[in-house]
Amino acid sequence: MSKKESFVKGTLILAGAALIARVLGLFQRVPLEHILGNVGNASYSQANAAYFMLLTLATAGIPSTLSKMVSERHALNRPNEARRIFIAALIFSLIAGVVMFALLYVLAPYYARGSGVPESVIAIRALAPALLIFPIIAMIRGYLQGRNIMIAGGVSQVIEQIVRVATGIALAFMFYSWGYSGEKIAAGATFGAVIGGVAALAVMLHYSHQLRKKDLAETVSYRHSWSDHRQQSYKEIYTEIFKLSIPMVLTALAVPAVNFIDNSILKPLLSGQLGSYQATYILGILGNRAQMIAGIPPILAIALSQSLVPIISAAFARKDEEHLQRQVTLAMRISVLTGMPIILALGTAAYSVNGLLFSTRDGSSIVALLTFATIFQITMMTSNSILLGINKTNLSMIHVAIGILVKLVASIVLAQFWGIYGIITATGLCFFVITLLNLRAMKIIVPFSIMGNRWTGFFVTIIALGGIGYGLNQAGIQMVAFMPGRIAFFLTCCIVGLGILVLYPVMLIVLRVVRKDELDSYPAPLRKLLMPLMKLQRGGGVERG
């Protein structure tokens, strides 16, 4: 298997695991939303927002850096040095986990009161022990990925979600049956993450142990390879790790930071307009419905576009500007083209999705608006990856910091006029600003065009399918007059989704947004989907713009 094939396979494994995890997470949120109540939903949302913010600080960037360093050492036939780097990363993860656990546990009452939901303390503290486990899992995953064992991360993620969902729902319904309050039920649900973390750690330790046994079988060659190299000190190892990972950590904070800001400021900003009860209700809708559904569109788009990043890195290293331009264009184009149909389907059918999954149909417009805003999240994350591929991680870090500042200021200003919709608009604006800054930096290094002269056809496709999707949804929900509501909503979701997913590639080809002469450069899954439809396209020619 070639390096490119191996990477694409690994990317698809991790993307598949991420999609399964997202679906399982949605499966957990749906029954919980029905039993938690306003305070319970808000508590669950706030606990997760604070947890993921601290987990990102404790781990993000370091596993990727560890993977890179381990891969390089093994390529140089220096496995003992790779092992020492891994041990150093584990030591850091233990210390970081304890620090983040202590911060979350001790500061929980202050954060809960400051964000307007003091009842969320128990849910936050129930989730805090997970911070002792997941940094270790992240380091083992990074090490195994550096050894090209992608399957371990995928399996552990799926097992973790299965156990998390099962135990979280079981504890929540047990507490519900005992008559506990919403915040205590939320605490039971969040504690499922701790049990899931234990299961994931067991999986990672199993794979690590199997690899260690294999390594020990090759001890003789390892010792021979080690003898010619000076052993790095831990100080040197940590210097190398943090030099590479700190910009990646801060870049990876974009989405967790946005969610944290929303959960922290929403109730203080909206209580004056809506009252405390309604603001708490809206917070639960944003955190447990909208953010969960809006997390679906980026998964496939990011996985497909990131499969091109190693090729971009290689082209940049070779100074092959023509190939670099072609691959950067392709990465950005694929991310937009693959993300948009899922966004259109979920956004236009938001009312039916809401009615199908949750206890009320309230907040459908919140779900729709946040889902549409994820197109800029997709372009932000893809362009961040490209900047990483061309060794400009520091720039993406700066751009993310600017975007988060824009998000905070815009949320405060726009919430005064548009309430929750102003806060969501600020989220889209944040991702849009980061994308623009990233694209500007990328164009200085390599001239490229995402769509060239195809933007008109692309916008016509979006507008037409947006109207069709909305029309199908409005027609479909009329079925509630003569059948059970959830069946009507399920059928409507299927009709809207099928209609958009069938018409979208057809329109892209008919309007020449996607062209036959460029299909060979697309990833195999897209080629297989689009090739049979190419007979609909007339004419040829290669884009020059």
Q: pLDDT (tens digit, 9 = 90+) per residue, 257-314?
A: 999 999 899 999 999 999 999 999 999 999 889 998 998 898 776 666 555 665 776 6
8-state DSSP, 230: P
Residue 545 has pLDDT above 50, yes or no: no
Q: Distance between CA 80 and CA 74 in Å, rounded?
A: 9
Residue 543 has pLDDT above 50, yes or no: no
Q: How confident is the model at residue 225 (pLDDT cuts 50, 70, 90)?
A: very low
Question: What pLDDT sits at residue 525?
Answer: 67
- What is the CA angle 294-297-298, rounded to 5? 100
Q: Distance between CA 232 and CA 85 in Å, rounded?
A: 9
Q: How confident is the model at residue 541 (pLDDT cuts 50, 70, 90)?
A: very low
Question: What pLDDT sits at residue 60?
Answer: 61
Q: How confident is the model at residue 544 (pLDDT cuts 50, 70, 90)?
A: very low
Q: How confident is the model at residue 176 (pLDDT cuts 50, 70, 90)?
A: very high
**pLDDT winner (highest mean) among 231-240, 331-340, 466-475, 532-541:** 466-475
What percent of the chain shows pLDDT beyond 70? 90
CA dist 537 to 452, 511, 541, Å?
Answer: 18, 8, 11
| pLDDT tens column, 475-528 | 999 999 999 999 999 999 999 999 999 999 999 999 988 888 777 767 666 777
Q: Quick one: average pLDDT of 106-110?
A: 94
Are 389 and 312 in contact, with CB atoms under 8 Å apart? yes
| pLDDT tens column, 47-99 | 988 888 888 877 767 887 888 788 778 877 888 888 899 999 999 999 999 99
Residue 410 has pLDDT above 60, yes or no: yes
Considering only residues 519 and 471, tell me which one the structure prediction assigns the higher pLDDT: 471
Contacts 24+ apart (CB under 8 A), 482-489: 485/355, 486/355, 486/356, 489/352, 489/353, 489/355, 489/356
Longest dimension (CA), the chain: 79
146: its two tokens: 């550096």
- Nearest of 94, 92, 88 to residue 231 by alpha carbon: 88
What percent of the chain shows pLDDT beyond 90? 51
Question: What pLDDT sits at residue 90?
Answer: 93
